[in-house]
Amino acid sequence: MRSRVDPFVVLLLSAAVFASFFPATGAVFEALQVVVVVAIGLLFFLYGTRLSTAETVAGLRNWRLQLVLLLTTFAVFPVLGLAIGLLPEEVLDPGLAAGLLLVCLVPSTVQGCVVFTRIAGGNTAAAVVSASLSNLVGVFLTPALVALLMTADAEVDASAVLRIVAQLLAPFVLGQLLRRWVGRWVARHDPTLRVFDRSTIVLVVLVAFSEGAEADVWSSVDVLDVAVVLGACVLLYVAIVTWILVVGRVCRFERGDRLALLFCGSTKSLASGLPMATVLFMGGDVALLVLPLMFYHQLQIVISGVLATRLGRAGGSSS
């Protein structure tokens, strides 16, 4: 498989650059904020309609794997993020260091880890449940971890948690409840609806970077800072994959479960992370905070795509 830059990430970076030079302001910015809130709600409603109850039950039976995945996502990752934060300010800008920590606190991807697990020949049902469970737990656990580990950067209180519940969890639950009636329609129009999914995230980036440009956050960042963040993302990925390989062997998981652990445990969700960041972090600093998440997102797509294809071929040749 030839790795290539994901067009979605090209759109994200283009939106970030455009908004940095030509930010939305005034009434246009306020209107976009309202559109973003509505679009994110619809996004998580669609997530709810796509999750099969049968797949959920099958995946939950493998509780040891799900427990390790949750610990990897919400315990091991944060420890690594705190370790990166120990770098001196002369090496890593504090705002970008906070962004790298935020990467470690958000849930795993929804679609990506399932697709990569399927390509590699892993336990797809376990991956579906892991992705969904991670995002459901993350609605509550990510704000709690942010409050505990990023108190200087975020304002996390009951109202912030309620906003996340109203904007993310409630639409998801509604989608599950209405899945019986709208699930088939969503499945039929899935390719078109996934365009809406990605367009929503691009819009979130546009609004976040518009606010960042107005707050002049880029005056404190240079090319060297960006290079350091990219290097830190690579180290973060290598460290978490090393942990996953070790714990998979220690727990004696079967090949299919180890592959699900690899692709669900090493990925972080841009689709969930960006909306959470816009709720938990106010002001123009959001742009700096989400930049490492965008970098890590592209990194995980490229590496996971290559790994999934090679592991899938290896599994097929050995069977």
The pLDDT value recorded for residue 104 is 96
Would you state the pLDDT for residue 303? 85
- Comparing CA positions, the residue from 314, 274, 312 lying closest to residue 124 is 312
This prediction has a pTM of 0.78
Arithmetic mean of pLDDT, 256-263: 94
pLDDT score of 94 more than 70: yes
Structure-block tokens of residue 46:
């669609």
Question: Greater confidence, 265 or 271?
Answer: 265
CA distances from 109 to 8, 15, 170, 228, 254 (A): 15, 21, 19, 24, 22
pLDDT in tens, 206-258: 887 787 777 666 676 788 888 999 999 999 999 999 999 999 999 999 999 99
Q: Could you give the C-alpha distances from 215 to 208, 211, 219, 275, 288, in angstroms and in order? A: 11, 6, 10, 19, 11
Ramachandran area for residue 149 (φ above 0: left; ψ -120 to 50: alpha; else beta): alpha
Interatomic CA distance for residues 157 and 309, integer angstroms: 43
What counts of helices (H) and strands (E) characterise the chain? 16, 0
Predicted pLDDT of residue 291: 84
Are residues 125 and 54 in contact, defined by beta-carbon separation less than 8 angstroms? no
Distance CA 171, CA 165 (A): 9
Q: pLDDT (tens digit, 9 = 90+) per residue, 113-126?
A: 877 888 888 887 78
Higher pLDDT, 189 or 3: 189
pLDDT score at 71: 97
* Closest C-alpha among 36, 19, 27, 17 to residue 274: 36
Q: For residues 195-215, give the mean pLDDT.
A: 78
**Residue 4's pLDDT is what?**
55
Is the pLDDT assigned to residue 1 strictly greater than 50?
no
H/E run at residue 281: none
The rounded percent of the chain whose pLDDT value lies above 70 is 86
Is 153 within 8 Å of 98 (Cβ atoms)? yes
Phi/psi for 86 (5° steps) reads -75, -10
